[in-house]
Amino acid sequence: MTEKQTKKRSFVPLILISGFGASTGAALGWIVYSALFINHRHALTSALEAERRTFVSRTAGVLSYYRSLPKDATNQTPLVLIHSVNAAASAYEMRPIFEHYRGRRPIYALDLPGFGFSERSERRYTPQLFSAAIADLLRTQVKGDQPADIVALSLGCEFAARAALAAPERVRSLAFISPTGLAKQRAIQQAERYGVADWLYRAVSFPLWSQALYDLLTTRLSIRFFLKQSFEGQPDEGLIAYAYATSHRQGARHAPLYFISGKLFSADIQQVYLQLRVPTLVIYDQDAFTRFDALSSILAQNECWQAIQIAPTRGLPHFERMSEVAEALDTFWAQVT
């Protein structure tokens, strides 16, 4: 081997070592920056221009929700809105629907556990916790004897479905916007079998870097990038601003870290969907974060289900095509007896 070849071979490990050192240094630098310079007590205003109330769920702790009651709410069917789960979720995600139906019927919009003004304590977050929160809202906070129409978004649809099974007397219908749980479940089943979600959660929740990792996912640039995937046009600026504010509150990382690791997705959700015996509408088109491979099978097996495609949309059709979403909802509800 020539002297030139020897020097070249010895130079490669030096590049790798220096690259590793630079990456480690950048990571440590971000951890320090996150701890010292990022505000984790950001001021948070109401997501919706409505009365905000709190109650104590026997399972999910202190929960916050918004409500708007028309002057004569007697014998009117309540509308309950359930947002999605992501790194920066809140009831703001349901704002266009809330505003459209305000004054027409009683409306309730829940901040799920770990989000918005609801309790954000460090605890175990599970699909059962979220569904129990919805069921407790239906049983204790939704006024009147009439069962509610529920409109849920993305992963919130899975929790709403479980709540409908737990409190069937309180649910008249379900409308799912871009629901998760309709893709092929093999990956989730395999991950559950081998404990992948548990391993991922331990990794992302490690005390040294969990806050810094979450802060990296919730920079304004990251939020804009992820929301851009859910809009056909430009993402809603109000949604971006609120997502940043709500993700920079004390304890904001706890629930999202369970989501990021995959622990909030259920391998049995398609069986849950098949058990539903209330009229159920799916509103969908394209979605960067989920697929609808099993939708046709569910429609064929459960006569309570129907679907409508509103195109072109990418997961948040009510922000860009609210009139079409409202038309689909109104037509659906008119059929419900």
90-112 per-position pLDDT tens digit: 999 999 999 999 999 999 999 99
Q: CA-CA distance, 329 to 331, in Å (whole number)?
A: 5
Which one is predicted more confidently, 71 or 200?
200
Q: Alpha-carbon distance 87 to 95, whole Å?
A: 18
- What is the per-residue pLDDT for 24? 77
Q: Cis ω on the peptide bond leading into residue 317 (within 30° of 0)?
A: no
Residues 6+ apart with CB under 8 A from 237: none
CB proximity list for 310: less than 8 A, separation 6 or greater = 283, 284, 285, 317, 321, 324, 325, 328
Closest by CA position to 276, among listed 157, 121, 161: 161
Write out pLDDT tens, residues 218-270.
999 999 999 999 999 999 999 999 999 999 999 999 999 999 999 999 999 99
Predicted pLDDT at 144: 87
pLDDT digits (tens, 9 = 90+) for 164-211: 999 999 999 999 999 999 998 766 776 677 788 999 999 999 999 999
Q: How far is CA 17 from the centre of its chain?
A: 40
pLDDT value at position 26? 85
**Residues 295-327 pLDDT 10s:** 999 999 999 999 999 999 999 999 999 999 999
pLDDT of 81 strictly over 90: yes
Query: Is the pLDDT confidence value at 7 over 60?
Result: no
- Is residue 257 within 8 A of residue 247, CB to CB? The reply is no
Longest dimension (CA), the chain: 92
Is CATH 3.50.50.60 the classification given to domain 51-335? no
- Strand partners of residue 108: 67, 80
Condensed to tens digits (0 to 9), the pLDDT of residues 199-212 reads 999 999 999 999 99
pLDDT tens for each residue of 18-70: 554 567 778 889 899 898 889 999 999 999 999 999 999 999 999 999 999 99
Residue 145: the pLDDT is 87
For the CA atoms of 198, 183, 282, 173, the dihedral, rounded to the nearest 10 degrees, stands at: -40
Decide: 162 and 127 in contact? Cβ < 8 Å. yes
Per-residue pLDDT band at 6 (split at 50, 70, 90): very low
Tell the residue number behind the tokens 């989730």, with chain if given. 188
Q: Is 177 helix (H, G, I), strand (E, B) or coil?
A: strand
Dump pLDDT digits (tens) for 105-140: 999 999 999 999 999 999 999 999 999 999 999 999
Q: According to the model, what pLDDT value does residue 207 have?
A: 95
Q: Which of 55, 177, 163 is nearest to 117 (CA)?
A: 55
